[in-house]
């Protein structure tokens, strides 16, 4: 009887743990921008492969980006396309300040991850979606809005007003030469 009781307690603990982990993830803060596919492309880059060896002088921002997104496409990397809301193109050229609404999307082309940066009263907020507009921020810790905000605010020399400027692809290509 004691064994059955212990198994029930263990099962209850396991179920509680699984439930609490599910609630630890946050939904996207930024909204999914309908029609983003028609926004102009301003940059093409990459989510680099997990086995990428970067030059020693690579910025911390790129090092963190490679580490954070090494899981994408099973570690093989993915082309990344940056599109800007046409009504904010001039603001993007000067890195803001930005008016309210969706500003930028970064699209991981292989896995179809859409990272969204939106501005509300000058504050950048973030979200992660699939191509159908489903919130996928709980799919991986690096897709959570708090993770996005952490990097975007830590690297203020590269991420100005919530949008980041350092081209990952150039660093990667330079290291391969």
Instruction: Compute CA distances 32 → 12, 78, 113, 170, whole Å.
Output: 37, 21, 12, 29
Count of CB atoms situated within 10 Å of the CB of 138: 17
**pLDDT reported for residue 41:** 95
Confidence of residue 1 (pLDDT cuts 50, 70, 90): low
Dihedral sign computed on CA atoms, order 138, 131, 152, 145: negative
What are 117-173's pLDDT values in tens digits? 999 999 999 999 999 999 999 999 988 988 888 888 888 888 888 888 765 545 444
Enclosing H/E stretch for 43: strand 41-47
What are 30-66's pLDDT values in tens digits? 999 999 999 999 999 888 888 988 888 888 888 888 8
Confidence of residue 2 (pLDDT cuts 50, 70, 90): low
Enclosing H/E stretch for 147: helix 145-154
Tally the C-alpha atoms within 13 A of residue 38's C-alpha that lie toward its C-beta.
5
**pLDDT reported for residue 122:** 92
Highest mean pLDDT among 23-27, 46-50, 80-84, 149-153: 80-84
- The beta-carbon contacts of 89-92 under 8 Å, at least 24 apart in sequence, are 89/40, 89/42, 92/42, 92/163
Domain ranges of the chain: 2-176
């Amino acid at each position: 009887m004691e064994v059955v009781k212990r198994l029930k307690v263990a099962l209850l603990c396991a179920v509680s743990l699984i439930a609490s982990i599910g609630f630890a993830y946050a939904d996207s803060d930024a909204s999914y921008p309908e029609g983003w596919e028609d926004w102009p492309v301003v940059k093409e880059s990459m989510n680099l492969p997990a086995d990428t060896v970067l030059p020693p002088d690579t910025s911390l921002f790129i090092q963190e980006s490679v580490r954070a997104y090494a899981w994408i496409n099973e570690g093989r990397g993915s082309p990344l396309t940056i599109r800007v809301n046409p009504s904010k193109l001039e603001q993007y050229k000067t890195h803001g300040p930005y008016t309210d609404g969706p500003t930028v999307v970064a699209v991981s082309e292989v896995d179809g991850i859409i990272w969204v940066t939106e501005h509300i009263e000058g504050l950048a907020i973030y979200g992660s979606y699939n191509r159908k507009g489903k919130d996928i921020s709980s799919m991986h810790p690096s897709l959570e809005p708090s993770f996005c905000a952490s990097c975007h605010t830590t690297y203020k020399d590269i991420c100005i007003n919530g949008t980041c400027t350092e081209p990952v692809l150039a660093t990667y290509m330079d290291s391969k030469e």
